[in-house]
Structure 1
Amino acid sequence: MIRLYDTATAAVRDFVPLEEGKASLYVCGLTVQSEPHVGHVRSGVNFDVLQRWLRHRGFEVTFIRNVTDIDDKILAKAEAAGRPWYAHAQLMQRSLERAYDALNVLPPTYEPLATGHVPEMVELIGTLIEKGHAYAATDGSGDVYFDVRSWPAYGELTRQRVDDMEAAADADPRGKRDPRDFALWKGHKESEPATASWPSPWGRGRPGWHIECSAMAGKYLGPAFDIHGGGLDLRFPHHENEQAQSRAAGRPFASYWMHNAWITTAGEKMSKSLGNSLTIPAVLTRFRGIELRYYLVSAHYRSHVEFSFEALEEAAAAFRRLEAFVQRALELVGPEDAGVGSELPTAFVAAMDDDLGTPAAIAVLHDTVREGNRLLTGADGRPDVDGVQAVLGSVVLMLDVLGLNPADPVWGSDAVDDQLTQVVDALVRGLLDERAAARAAKDWAAADAVRDRLKAAGVEITDTPDGPKWSV
């Protein structure tokens, strides 16, 4: 039984889907205003692990992850860049897609754009007005607001009282009945591009941020669905407002709420506004995507991560040890026999079922690899082929669940990479031949010097009965 921490109840609960054998998941995607940084993609990676695990446990998963492609920040960034807002949003969306691909984040079932669902948003706003939970401002602005006082349960997701909340900051308060009312529709302003507005019963304008996700979740998952996810920073006001407006409109909405924690730098949430962001393209000039993914997966999704390149280097080194075992084991048993008769270790399954306990799951993975390395060496200097094959199969299954299998073609190489690998192999082999000649001549100093040169370049040498093997 999978158990998940439900933010709404602050408790770990058994996952019981609305429909047996199926799981519906909605995750708030990014507002495509700038290039994605490490903090942005954490949510994508964490919920990618969730969908992989649900599928492994036999669920048919419908996964919706939206893209917010119209927003105040997008308009401002586009104006500063001197390009149309829609072109800017598309450019940043492509950058986000490349980041997800680089980290092996599987695509969702569907990835709706906010701008493609304005009719659904207008319809939902109309329903809220009819039910007495929303109103059009009387100041001529064309804005429409949700009336928080009309919904007694407002604040239940974050366990707050309305009177203790700060006023919403998304519009001039003069058109509001209560300063905490939030915008469902924003009337068009002369200072904004005409293309950034749509017709509505309240005049031309564009949707507020919160109504977007409620409308898209409802369209693709129906009035009730299983899991709503996103970053912890979205819990209030975004998710609080989503739940309130959806339930006020008569939609039960999400049964479980899951939130991934922040990645911080110097104790503060990584963000563009703080100027401490690290874009994915910049990080990938120093580390491979699979190493960055390992770094993100190795922390529990609800744990805050203090980012540093030193910590990322340690994670990369740990992953390379796993990778080296897979490489050596595949050379021994062959890829066609890698997964024969394999199963996930019971401890790994228990860790993943316990609210996606990836740190404990990765500990099982490393323990298994240590056993595999022992079998590769063998008690008599000869590898235990059957034992290595069994361990390799389990390791590959665990890596697949975490999206970290180095043999997965998604991490694969193109012709240039293959050629580069061949060149590096030829150069290393040449040095190994020098070392072998020195050892044959009992020139141990020269042999050690070659080994030290290779080690300084990040190449590890393992002497085996079949000759030396090398790995990065």
Structure 2
Amino acid sequence: MTIRLYDTRAQQLRDFAPLDASNVTMYVCGPTVQSGPHIGHVRAALSFDLLRRWLARRYGRVTFVRNVTDIEDKVLANATGTEPWWALAYRMEQEFSQAYAAVGILAPTYEPRATGFIPQMHDLIATLIDRGHAYAAADGSGDVYFDVRSWPEYGSLTHQSVDAMEAAADADPRGKRNPQDFALWKGAKSDEQPDAVWDSPWGPGRPGWHIECSAMSRRYLGAEFDIHGGGLDLRFPHHENELAQSTAAGDAFARYWVHNGLVTVGGQKMSKSLGNFTLAADVLAVHHPLVVRYALAAAHYRSSLDLTESSFAEAEAALGRIRSFLERAARLPAEFSSAADLPAAFAAAMDDDLGVPQALAVLHETVRAGNSMLDAGRSGDAQLAALQVRDMAGILGIDPLAPEWRGDVTGADEASALDALVQTMITQRAQARADKDWAAADRIRDAIGAAGITLEDTPDGTHWSIDG
């Protein structure tokens, strides 16, 4: 068993070897909660949910930390006179949590908020100052900056030289020594909300964006941990700055850097700043959450994903094929009480940089083989195939028979009503056949087929499924 992951810093695939094989440690940058999640946020969180699930399968335990940035320039900018920044941040955090839960993203082991770790940030900043890698602005503003030219390895994550970098735009440049220096602590300003201020050794103010994650990852995972994750758009400046300040403070920090590709619109990154985003709530209002999960997971996590309506149609059809086979197999008398071995090709695909598209191909090939076994009367083989399908689908979080997805895409009440109607027509067709009224039996079957429903006559009765 060897998992390989693409390490952004190394710019190549690397064999994954955790510090502790009984507990993989993983930190993923969570949302800045200035507004509700768009579908790109959900895709990012889902990418690491899939990685976490596979690591848990391979190693048994994953300590997964995903933070919430609840204090930042954009949060303050979106606050209003009737909704202060902290209330906005909490409301938006709930929207993110609801969107994540809707598509089956597992809750993190720990989910710290930045505002809960101000003392730890102060300690880290003080260490950087003592080591000569940070300085308080000489103008008395209360600003504290990281001195990028004091750290020779600055730029090692994104393979840039300091001279080629643009000036850091994350703070007022009023007290900077170098344009690329970034803010660790932002002195209070008279035009900002007075309750968004904390005391510090350098004067009242609030933390810079980058210092938050260094402090929180250290608190929960220690000075060195296995995987740091996030979107490609976070590589610079956020992750570059995290790496610099943590290692300059003496921490080994992350051993592997994993980044997911972005959701695009017409080839352009989906983002709030560009105004080309689709809110997750709008997508989930139209498409079943399981369909959304499948559509977002079907592409490789490092690839760009241009979502269209056909993406959701293909996902719904694929899930229909999985559900139909599993329901057919479930009607057989049980012959096995334990799961079959996970197909080796599925495991190999997942081990190879989380190759979900290839893993899905194995899953669907097992579905096709299982249906052929059912058609041939090989019930035992078909049941083993069904057990494998459920195992693979469970790892990917797309098992349509799992409790979290129980019920049809249209909802439990609608499914119950549809079943009653179809069963009535099946009964009428059976009576027509018993009366040798073949024309009536054919008319009923054709009417059912026109509605997109397939009938399967078996020795133990007629069963129906929606065409996929």
Same fold (TM over 0.5): yes
After the TM superposition, which residues 66-81 of structure 1 pair with which residues of structure 2 at under 5 Å, given as runs? 66-79=67-80
Report the equivalent of 2:129: 129
Partner AA of 1:21 in structure 2: S
Report the CA distance between 1:324 and its aligned residue.
1.5
**Partner of 2:190: helix, strand, or coil?**
coil
Superposed structure 1 runs of 4+ greater than 6 Å apart: none
Tell me, in whole angstroms, the C-alpha distance in 1 between the residues paired with 2:88 and 2:263. Answer: 26
Report the CA distance between 1:75 and its aligned residue.
1.2
Report the equivalent of 2:277: 277
Report the CA distance between 1:287 and its aligned residue.
1.4
Q: Indicate how the Cα distance of structure 1 residues 315 and 421 shifts in structure 2: closer, same or farther if over 3 A, else same.
A: closer
Corresponding position: 1:377 with 2:371: no
Farther off after superposition, 61-70 or 138-147: 138-147
**Partner of 2:274: helix, strand, or coil?**
coil
Report the equivalent of 2:345: 347
Report the CA distance between 1:151 and its aligned residue.
0.4
Tell me, in whole angstroms, the C-alpha distance in 1 between the residues paired with 2:191 and 2:422. Answer: 62
Report the CA distance between 1:421 and its aligned residue.
2.8
**Partner of 2:79: helix, strand, or coil?**
helix
Q: Indicate how the Cα distance of structure 1 residues 425 and 74 shifts in structure 2: closer, same or farther if over 3 A, else same.
A: same
TM-score, normalization: structure 2?
Answer: 0.94
Report the CA distance between 1:273 and its aligned residue.
2.0
Report the CA distance between 1:413 and its aligned residue.
5.5
Corresponding position: 1:450 with 2:452: no
Deviations 1:418-453 (A, max 9, x none): 444322210122233344456642227623541344
Deviations 1:359-380 (A, max 9, x none): 11000000000011111222xx
Q: Indicate how the Cα distance of structure 1 residues 442 and 413 shifts in structure 2: closer, same or farther if over 3 A, else same.
A: closer
**Partner of 2:438: helix, strand, or coil?**
coil
Tell me, yes or no, if the aligned pair for 2:263 and 2:304 is still in contact at 8 Å: yes
Tell me, yes or no, if the aligned pair for 1:339 and 1:394 is still in contact at 8 Å: no
After the TM superposition, which residues 297-308 of structure 1 pair with which residues of structure 2 at under 5 Å, given as runs? 297-308=297-308
The one of 404, 408, 412 equivalent to 2:406 is: 412
Deviations 1:290-311 (A, max 9, x none): 1111111111100111111122
Tell me, in whole angstroms, the C-alpha distance in 2 between the residues paired with 1:330 and 1:68. Answer: 46
Report the equivalent of 2:112: 112
Tell me, yes or no, if the aligned pair for 2:229 and 2:258 is still in contact at 8 Å: yes
**Partner of 2:285: helix, strand, or coil?**
coil
Partner AA of 1:377 in structure 2: D
Corresponding position: 1:398 with 2:395: no
Tell me, in whole angstroms, the C-alpha distance in 2 between the residues paired with 1:327 and 1:282. Answer: 31
Tell me, yes or no, if the aligned pair for 1:435 and 1:450 is still in contact at 8 Å: no
Tell me, yes or no, if the aligned pair for 2:425 and 2:444 is still in contact at 8 Å: no
TM-score, normalization: structure 1?
Answer: 0.93
Unaligned runs of 5+ in 1: none
Tell me, yes or no, if the aligned pair for 2:146 and 2:182 is still in contact at 8 Å: yes
Tell me, in whole angstroms, the C-alpha distance in 2 between the residues paired with 1:155 and 1:463. Answer: 66
Tell me, in whole angstroms, the C-alpha distance in 1 between the residues paired with 2:367 and 2:268. Answer: 36
Tell me, in whole angstroms, the C-alpha distance in 1 between the residues paired with 2:247 and 2:330. Answer: 53
Deviations 1:261-301 (A, max 9, x none): 00101111111222222222211222111111111111110
Q: Indicate how the Cα distance of structure 1 residues 128 and 316 shifts in structure 2: closer, same or farther if over 3 A, else same.
A: same
Report the CA distance between 1:73 and its aligned residue.
0.8
Partner AA of 1:17 in structure 2: P
Tell me, in whole angstroms, the C-alpha distance in 1 between the residues paired with 2:360 and 2:175. Answer: 53
Partner AA of 2:359 in structure 1: A
Partner AA of 2:65 in structure 1: I
Report the CA distance between 1:406 and its aligned residue.
1.6
Tell me, in whole angstroms, the C-alpha distance in 2 between the residues paired with 1:411 and 1:341. Answer: 20
Deviations 1:236-272 (A, max 9, x none): 1000000000000000100000000001011111112
Deviations 1:343-401 (A, max 9, x none): 100000100111111111000000000011111222xxxx3221121011111110111
The CA RMSD measured in Å over matched residues stands at: 1.9
Q: Indicate how the Cα distance of structure 1 residues 318 and 303 shifts in structure 2: closer, same or farther if over 3 A, else same.
A: same
Farther off after superposition, 163-172 or 245-254: 163-172
Report the equivalent of 2:190: 190
Partner AA of 2:30 in structure 1: G
Tell me, yes or no, if the aligned pair for 2:188 and 2:205 is still in contact at 8 Å: yes
After the TM superposition, which residues 29-428 of structure 1 pair with which residues of structure 2 at under 5 Å, given as runs? 29-79=30-80, 82-333=82-333, 340-378=338-376, 383-412=377-406, 417-428=411-422
Unaligned runs of 5+ in 2: none
**Partner of 1:110: helix, strand, or coil?**
coil
Tell me, in whole angstroms, the C-alpha distance in 1 between the residues paired with 2:168 and 2:11. Answer: 25
**Partner of 2:127: helix, strand, or coil?**
helix
Partner AA of 1:397 in structure 2: D
Q: Indicate how the Cα distance of structure 1 residues 129 and 333 shifts in structure 2: closer, same or farther if over 3 A, else same.
A: farther
Report the CA distance between 1:454 and its aligned residue.
1.8
